[in-house]
Amino acid sequence: MPIRRIVLLGDVCGRPGRLAIQQRLPDLRRQIAADFVIVNCENAAAGYGITSRLAAELLDSGADCLTTGDHAFDRREGWPLFDAEVRVLRPLNYPPGAPGRGSAVYDTQGFRVGVVNLQGRVFMKALDCPFRRVTPVVEEICRQTRIMIVDFHAEATAEKQSMGWFLDGRVSAVIGTHTHVQTADERILPGGTAYITDAGMCGSFDSVLGVRKEQSLRRLIEGLPAKLDAGTGDVRLNGVLVEIDEVSGRSVSIQRISEPVELTESAQTFV
């Protein structure tokens, strides 16, 4: 049976994460023979949102599709990107009228991949119900391809697990993003859907979720607003590699990716 290898890399956090993608993704893609690469870019612009220039950098580095989440529209200058670039998605369950699209089907290397971007509602801003919104989209994509990846950008582990069970047997993978902490619960659900609660992040791990430790601590301890900059040390790429049977769309394996990236000396001076 033909097996397709799909990679999803977790939230790219600031310039350290972007540089890690630029330096490591081209070789990583070749080494693991990835057929398609999805990168969550919603924290790419100094931790908040995405711009056209930064999206182009990530796509040029080997990403085939960029997903987002609750920070998708933080940069107003990036709003036109979501209408202009089909390879950049925002959560499907934004209300009607939001720029862009929440799903797409991509033709690549002789096969098709459907990607759906969803956002959770528990402990997050109010959006339309992701469970209700995703159902007709999954049915439509299934008429075009059996390979379908869902990036579920959500805070609560229970909501993420619920989405995994809800879509089991209907999509190839439900991969959680948003919390920046890679979980150890990757598995294949009974219906053939690969699942993990969170893919992790691409950025500095000498940090608090990619943010400089001292700034995060000050905000928590003093209770006052504080500027948050990206950390710079111990940079890694986090994500998952999913192997999928092209004919059935069922996943046959899922494994975590955690790749250290040695950035150049000059790259360590950014904020």
User: Which residues are designated catalytic?
Assistant: 71
Pick the closest to residue 150 from 6, 258, 14, 54 (CA basis): 6
DSSP-derived 3-state class of residue 54: helix
Pick the closest to residue 164 from 95, 112, 118, 125 (CA basis): 118
Q: What number of other Cβ atoms are within 10 A of residue 104's Cβ?
A: 17
Contacts of 215 (CB under 8 A, 6+ apart): 226, 227, 228, 229
Contacts of 10 (CB under 8 A, 6+ apart): 40, 177, 180, 182, 198, 199, 200, 201, 202, 238, 239
Helices (H) and strands (E) in the chain, counts: 6, 13
Specify which residues 208 forms β-bridges with.
211
Strands (E), 72-153: 103-108, 111-119, 148-153
64 and 91 Cβ atoms separated by less than 8 Å: no
Radius of gyration of the chain (CA): 17
Contacts of 177 (CB under 8 A, 6+ apart): 8, 10, 11, 40, 67, 69, 151, 152, 153, 198, 199
